[in-house]
Structure 1
Amino acid sequence: MIQEIPNRANRGYIGSMLICNLLLFRFKGPWHVKDLYEAVMSKDTFAFSSASLRSLRLEQEFQDWEDARQALAHRRALTRAPLPPAPRRPERRQQGPLARTPQLCRDPVVHNTFLCGDITRVYAVLRDPAMVYALMETVQEEMVWAPEMGMWTLASKTKQTSALRLAAGRGHAACVEELLFRGAEVDASPGGGTALHDACAGGHATCAQLLLSHGANPNCLNADGNAPLHLCRTAHTFQCAEALLQVDGASVNVKSRDTELTPLHVAARQGLEEHVALFLCHGAEVSTRNREGETPLNAACAGAERPMEAGRYLRVVQRLLGAGADPCTAGRKRHTPLHNACGNCCPRIVHILLQHGAHADAANCAGYTPMDCLLQVVEDFPDQQPEEVARCILNYGAPPTSPKVRSKMLKLCCLSPLTLEVMLNSYDIIPPCEYWIDFVPEELLKEHQVFFESARFMSGQPRSLQHLCRYAVRRHLGALCHSVITKLDIPSCLREYLLLATEGQLR
């Protein structure tokens, strides 16, 4: 039959296939393609074309790759030790438009398979090789504002991702490893982000290391303009940040596309002390500015909004100042770190900023000083020692409020009698109390009866000679008040009196 075929190349191809079939039928055992290839090549009965030899060679390469993958999977099952890089899958060229267009998958069962990381089901899904590159598409109903209708309405929004992104975002390292073995593109970004972005955002260090070992780009920006380092925003992402910075070419000063934030800005804003220390050790610039002109120090002072987190934000501020951050650097609106710290009513942060040279009387573009920022939030932080912030600012040279706004500012202090006492002690004469005492709640009037009675009695009257001496000393020292008085060899009670310590009444 073969002799009747005139084409020599066809005779060679059919001959090789006949020999393969005869060998499989003769031995009836599990033959590798490599064995068949060697057996065929040892025969000189038929003439083989280049097409038939290439086909056998490609099948041999794929069989070798499959053997290596199974051996590595077996080793992974026996030990938890770090694995060597996976063998690269041999590339098989495909022809036609189907090779360039990834398959679209909307099956929720397939999505959940990669989300759950069930490796047995993953193997079953990946029997179809196209699923490695498939686009996972979901359609969600979301509330969107319709300007033409003037109301909120439901709209369908289509989102795309990939099997690699789904597995990496949930921390399924075995699934990620399997997909990479099968040739998944490590930097593919369906939906606007890569698998490395998802792994870092979720704090899955093992997945991040796997992706980086397979060539993932650590500086790639997602659709929102953020690099993977920008997404390390929680304490449990520290190992991901470490893995990213260990890669050659990773930039610790990479900026986001729109806001021009660096990873140090993000870590400082979140109060992540270990992240800040890591970035500083890798050369992060403390003086870099974002689009609003603010430094990481300003971001840290703005982020300290909760009293229970003040301690870690204080340590972040100390690290930034120790690395050379300038506390006087203001953004485009001339808002300094001290403005932010006073606006969040953080006494210890305010004190350390003033110790490092922050200006207590600096005004922003709206004309507000740090004292103005404090008085506007006293009612929001009555239990966060706003009186200590007021003392600190006044002792470092902040002038008392002007008579034009004095009554307005005193009204803002009514919910904190101790802060009100500090402010009144910065004047030589107590201003008339009828402009602000009516705003004091009845329960506070009863609780601090002695103080409010003394304020009402002293209203518009000359202060004691002792207070007038204190006022004169403080006015003479000005911005040097704290640094000079703390060095005087005087009794501690007198020192505290000069520094406006509260007593619970006015004299």
Structure 2
Amino acid sequence: MAEETFHFTSSKLRSLRLQQEWLEWEDRRRAAALQSRNRRCPPSSRARLTRPRHSCRDPAVHSALFSGNLQQVQALFQDEDTANMIVETVSNQLAWSAEQGREHQTGAEEEEEGRGFWVLTPKTKQTVPLTITAARGYTDCARHLIQQGAELDACVGGRTALHEACAQAQSDCVRLLLTFGAKANVLSEEGTTPLHLCTAPESLQGAKLLLEAGAIVNFVARDSEMTPLHVVAARGLEEHVALYLEHGADVSLRTSQGETALNAACAEAEGPGSGRQHQAAARQLLEAGADARAAGRKHHTPLHNACANGCGALAELLLRHGACVNVPNAAGHTPMDCALQAVQDDPNCKPEVLFAALLDYGAQPVHPEMLKHCANFPRALEVLLNAYPCVPSCDTWVEAVLPELWQEHEAFYSSALGMVNQPRQLQHLARLAVRAQLGSHCRQATARLPLPPLLRDYLLLRVEGRIQ
């Protein structure tokens, strides 16, 4: 009769089972407490029971949470115990496995030969329902879980729900969690706050909500010692940088490797598009008082990093704010050396802009042997050759030019080759004399001189397509 009268779904049965386990745990807790009182033990030695967390690998539970099905979530999570269960997921990940049968070899030999293969290895991850729903922006589901007693700051799997909501730029869930009392400065297992995880342009609103809730803008991560400002500067998030500076972010703080936020911005500025974003972030930092000469890891200054990434406009920005153009890094390389290497790494960059900026701010002409690095960039090669009073004799750059490129730019290459060890025109020598007199202020001073535009461009090593 009961079977005909009541229909128990699988979710209802699961809920009843969890409730029964909870009651059993409660009975054990009360019995232990009673036994402790009977023995008249001091409070420090009384038996303590930790509230158990149930683990769940049920696909139905996973499906409800990861799809944001509110009706299923409401049916499955009806009390505090279920709302705080541990959800386990297993995924296959590629892992490198050394070749078997090599147990008699030393680690150095194995590393040298590098033999092995990639294998799919199952990896179990743990989290809680609130973290899953908050990370995916399922606000209604997250609200239901909170109302059922989900712990707001539970750090299962390394991060709390607020961390994941910030990392995924789910500003509505960030607002929900903070409204119900989530801690704005809660730490992950890595020692980072939610503000450290606002790393996407869409996370700006979440960052504002965190700061309004009392997030510490200069909080230093435990191991890396990075601040939120370091994080957003490295990603070229100009609006985030401005927001943090408005809330008192300190531009002089350094990471465990000695990097300032400006170092981080310049180090990650790779490619033309990325360079523009990081240039805007760097400008914000410089206007806030960041030191353009601050050396970080391996004594790389922001200018070293900008040049290594081939970012001419960013390098010019740093030079205008006092960056030193001839300072060496730990390896003895100047920014010009880094710029020459960048030409090889990024064939799509426009190195002539970068070389001209460095020379206008006082960089020394490169050693003739280094001209080979830009032999296949005729515009850049012209700028470098015009820094000499006489085209130096050097066969290495001539031999490095690709035949098809020589044919395409034959007029330039032939003019350069014909002027090797030959007297240059008087106007070129006069140009070098004026540039030497202006020194590292060449670009700023030339802009102030009452000169015709053509003459001003000539002084600043305008590319003409031939060497005279």
Normalising by structure 2, we get a TM-score of: 0.84
Q: Contact conserved, 2:217 with 2:244, CA < 8 A, in 1?
A: yes
Residue 264 (structure 1) aligned with residue 229 (structure 2): yes
Amino acid at match of 2:184: P
Q: Contact conserved, 2:375 with 2:401, CA < 8 A, in 1?
A: yes
Offset, 1:478:
2.1
Offset, 1:313:
2.0
Offset, 1:242:
0.8
Q: Contact conserved, 2:80 with 2:149, CA < 8 A, in 1?
A: no
1:56-113 C-alpha deviation (Å, 9 max, x unpaired)? xxxxxxxxxxxxxxxxxxxxxxxxxxxxxxxxxxxxx944259711111110210120
Q: Contact conserved, 2:79 with 2:148, CA < 8 A, in 1?
A: no
Select the structure of larger CA radius of gyration.
Answer: 1
Q: Contact conserved, 2:308 with 2:339, CA < 8 A, in 1?
A: yes
Q: Contact conserved, 2:271 with 2:310, CA < 8 A, in 1?
A: no
1:370-427 C-alpha deviation (Å, 9 max, x unpaired)? 111111111344443210110110010111124xxx22x1110112101100111101
Residue of structure 2 aligned with 1:218, choices 177, 184, 197? 184
Amino acid at match of 1:142: Q
Partner Cα distance (1:230, 1:273) in 2: 15
Residue of structure 1 aligned with 2:144, choices 175, 178, 194? 178
Q: Contact conserved, 2:294 with 2:302, CA < 8 A, in 1?
A: yes
Specify the alignment match of 2:273 in structure 1: 308
Specify the alignment match of 1:425 in structure 2: 386
Residue of structure 2 aligned with 1:274, choices 223, 239, 250? 239
Residue 342 (structure 1) aligned with residue 310 (structure 2): no
Q: Contact conserved, 1:200 with 1:237, CA < 8 A, in 2?
A: yes
Residue 197 (structure 1) aligned with residue 163 (structure 2): yes
Amino acid at match of 1:115: F
Structure 1 stretches of 4+ with a deviation exceeding 6 A read none
Residue 160 (structure 1) aligned with residue 156 (structure 2): no
Partner Cα distance (1:144, 1:432) in 2: 53
Specify the alignment match of 2:28 in structure 1: 96
Q: Trace 1:69-468 onto structure 2 (pairs within 5 A).
A: 94-96=26-28, 100-127=51-78, 130-146=81-97, 149=100, 151=116, 152-248=118-214, 250-402=215-367, 406-407=368-369, 409-468=370-429
What's the Cα RMSD here? 1.8
Offset, 1:208:
1.0
- Which stretch shows the higher mean deviation, 481-490 or 409-418? 481-490
Amino acid at match of 2:459: L
Q: Contact conserved, 1:430 with 1:460, CA < 8 A, in 2?
A: yes
Offset, 1:138:
1.9
Give the secondary-structure state (helix, strand or coil) at the position aligned to 1:138. strand
Distance 1:412 1:99, change over 3 A: closer
Q: Contact conserved, 2:271 with 2:311, CA < 8 A, in 1?
A: no
- Which stretch shows the higher mean deviation, 144-153 or 198-207? 144-153
Offset, 1:443:
2.0
Q: Contact conserved, 2:406 with 2:413, CA < 8 A, in 1?
A: yes
Give the secondary-structure state (helix, strand or coil) at the position aligned to 1:140. strand
Partner Cα distance (2:435, 2:67) in 1: 67
- Which stretch shows the higher mean deviation, 366-375 or 456-465? 456-465
Partner Cα distance (1:490, 1:126) in 2: 77
Give the secondary-structure state (helix, strand or coil) at the position aligned to 1:111. helix
Give the secondary-structure state (helix, strand or coil) at the position aligned to 1:218. coil
- Which stretch shows the higher mean deviation, 333-342 or 485-494? 485-494
Partner Cα distance (1:124, 1:489) in 2: 80
- Which stretch shows the higher mean deviation, 95-104 or 463-472? 95-104
Offset, 1:475:
2.4
Partner Cα distance (1:434, 1:310) in 2: 34
Distance 1:148 1:380, change over 3 A: closer
Offset, 1:224:
2.9
Partner Cα distance (1:256, 1:112) in 2: 34
Partner Cα distance (2:290, 2:388) in 1: 35
Residue 489 (structure 1) aligned with residue 440 (structure 2): no
Partner Cα distance (2:252, 2:339) in 1: 26
Offset, 1:452:
0.5
1:301-328 C-alpha deviation (Å, 9 max, x unpaired)? 1222121233322221111111111111
| Number of equivalenced pairs | 410
Q: Contact conserved, 2:78 with 2:148, CA < 8 A, in 1?
A: no
Unaligned 5+ segments in structure 2 are 1-24, 30-48, 101-114
Offset, 1:116:
1.3
Partner Cα distance (1:434, 1:158) in 2: 60
Give the secondary-structure state (helix, strand or coil) at the position aligned to 1:156. strand
Q: Contact conserved, 2:211 with 2:217, CA < 8 A, in 1?
A: yes
User: Percent same amino acid among aligned pairs?
Assistant: 47
Amino acid at match of 2:311: C
Offset, 1:432:
1.7
Partner Cα distance (2:68, 2:216) in 1: 31
Unaligned 5+ segments in structure 1 are 1-92
1:228-283 C-alpha deviation (Å, 9 max, x unpaired)? 111111011111111111113x2011122221111111111111111111111111
Amino acid at match of 1:222: S
Give the secondary-structure state (helix, strand or coil) at the position aligned to 2:344. coil
Amino acid at match of 2:75: A
Amino acid at match of 2:457: E
Specify the alignment match of 1:39 in structure 2: none
Higher RCO (Cα < 8 Å, 6 or more apart): 2
Normalising by structure 1, we get a TM-score of: 0.77
Offset, 1:167:
0.7
Q: Contact conserved, 2:134 with 2:165, CA < 8 A, in 1?
A: yes
